[in-house]
Structure 1
């Protein structure tokens, strides 16, 4: 009889032990409200992630970064050192556009491949920004250039006034993509434009004070900059830096430089300086570098490089 009671007591203890284990497992299981909070946190974190912006070349990256700052993640499609006119996008570039939120290109024929790349990306949510849209543009007059590259001079970002126009278009796109941060983008845009205007005012006064108004470049990329300040460029190569000047063109440039006491021939890092050096040697001038801001040259910002350009041009006219 005693053995029977002991056996029954052991059975009861085993049953109680299993019940307690089951109770502990239930207590450690997360409830539905905890899962809901975790899900909400993940959503908020996703919402706060930077906007994925693809741009064509360095100047566009500078403008997007100036307005978007820490709320954008910018990828540049054209590698540093490559001329945008000659670039052809690769499969990885198209793949990037297919997942991007915004695509910024300057336009006016600078990136002739842009429209095809947009089609190939097949991203219906992609916000497309032709940054030069609505700007006061300069028309090409050379019929061959018009047939090959289009009707307009594309180098609008090399003008402080042109930069203002492009920055405003970029700001509008960021606001469209992220309206909750509208005030942030508008404040950054206003601040950058204020810096552009300060630089313009500083050099407009300086250029008005000099008698000489013309300078010589290796590449006719500074038409918009000249329009800003009432200057004139003479160039070794045309707007799209294609081919080499004829003997007659070089002879005319040599005569022009001598008649106007040109002391500096400006050349770009990305273009061949050989012809510019030949011209400089012929007229007793020096060759100096000027920035086109298509690549990240010398790790300087847009404003620093633009200031450097204007300073060198001004010194050459004094």
Structure 2
């Protein structure tokens, strides 16, 4: 969507919110979130006590998705918005989403996570860019995120504290079990390089001392020169797989694997069944 269309969408949405101001009734158990894994985290702790409104639908990208006016109205009905922290969707749209939402609690779940600066490419060199938003690709970061979420949920339903604490501890135990397995199985892979189209596994790579090589840098597809460099590096490092997030185009990855006699591996860190997908990704990396 171009800038003019985006402005039109914001204008129309603002009209809708203005017209409905004071008329939208809050749904006391409705929480809005940005991505599907957040729904999973909430349900692991609170079961079905809350209705979770996910703004970015399955198959859509947090880098480019644009909410509809109806979604803005749904946010206005919510009692809380739990943001993931730094994804482009939130940076661009959250102000508009919350502007017409009276008495909504805005919670940044990334509080306490050690954030990573992304890379930006200029010519033939890289330098530090903005914050890499993909904290949910890290088991260790999700433990922090879940602790923040748990504290907010028991504030919203203090009578359920004992139940939520039991569920929270069980969830953290399962994350710890997978984290310990990853620490053990990836120990011999320390320093290993893997190639991925969109740099969605930055935090996971930091956790286990792996090196992520991104095909797309700073939201831009690779130039022919950079593609050649990637192919040469993949050959030098004997990389035979290129990861592609489900929400992104696979054509550049196919071009690389054709040159290295490799394969494209589709992953989905945005899957609703977050823990199962993280197990799959770690299993692939350890082989």
Q: TM-score, normalised by structure 2?
A: 0.83
Deviations 1:141-194 (A, max 9, x none): 4288xxxxx731000001101111111111111111111111222221111111
Find 2:245's aligned residue among 265, 268, 272: 268
Give the superposed CA RMSD.
1.9
Gaps of 5+ in 2: 1-26, 123-128
Where does residue 313 of structure 1 map in the other structure? Answer: 285
Where does residue 69 of structure 1 map in the other structure? Answer: 47
Deviations 1:221-275 (A, max 9, x none): 1110001111011121125xx3320122111111111111111111122101001
Give the secondary structure class of the aligned counterpart of 1:220: coil
Instruction: Map 1:105-254 to 2 at 5 A.
Output: 105-110=83-88, 111-112=90-91, 113-121=93-101, 123-124=102-103, 126-142=104-120, 151-210=130-189, 213-238=192-217, 242-254=219-231
Does the 8 Å CA contact 1:265/1:280 hold for their aligned counterparts? yes
Does the 8 Å CA contact 2:200/2:245 hold for their aligned counterparts? no
Deviations 1:109-148 (A, max 9, x none): 4422113211222x21x2222111221100134288xxxx
Does the 8 Å CA contact 1:50/1:73 hold for their aligned counterparts? no
CA distance in 2, matches of 1:204, 1:94: 41
Does the 8 Å CA contact 1:50/1:70 hold for their aligned counterparts? no
Does the 8 Å CA contact 2:190/2:209 hold for their aligned counterparts? no
Which structure dedicates a bigger proportion of its chain to helix? 1
Does the 8 Å CA contact 2:33/2:81 hold for their aligned counterparts? yes
CA distance in 1, matches of 2:234, 2:121: 26
Give the secondary structure class of the aligned counterpart of 1:88: coil
Does the 8 Å CA contact 2:119/2:217 hold for their aligned counterparts? no
Gaps of 5+ in 1: 1-48, 145-149
CA distance in 1, matches of 2:45, 2:261: 44
Task: Name the CA shift for 1:198/1:81 in 2 (closer, same or farther; >3 Å).
Answer: same
Residue 81 in 1 paired to residue 82 in 2? no
Give the secondary structure class of the aligned counterpart of 2:131: coil
Instruction: Map 1:31-42 to 2 at 5 A.
Output: none
Q: TM-score, normalised by structure 1?
A: 0.75
CA distance in 1, matches of 2:200, 2:240: 20
The alpha-carbon deviation at position 75 of structure 1 amounts to 1.7
* Equivalenced residues, count: 253
Give the secondary structure class of the aligned counterpart of 1:230: coil
Does the 8 Å CA contact 1:158/1:224 hold for their aligned counterparts? yes
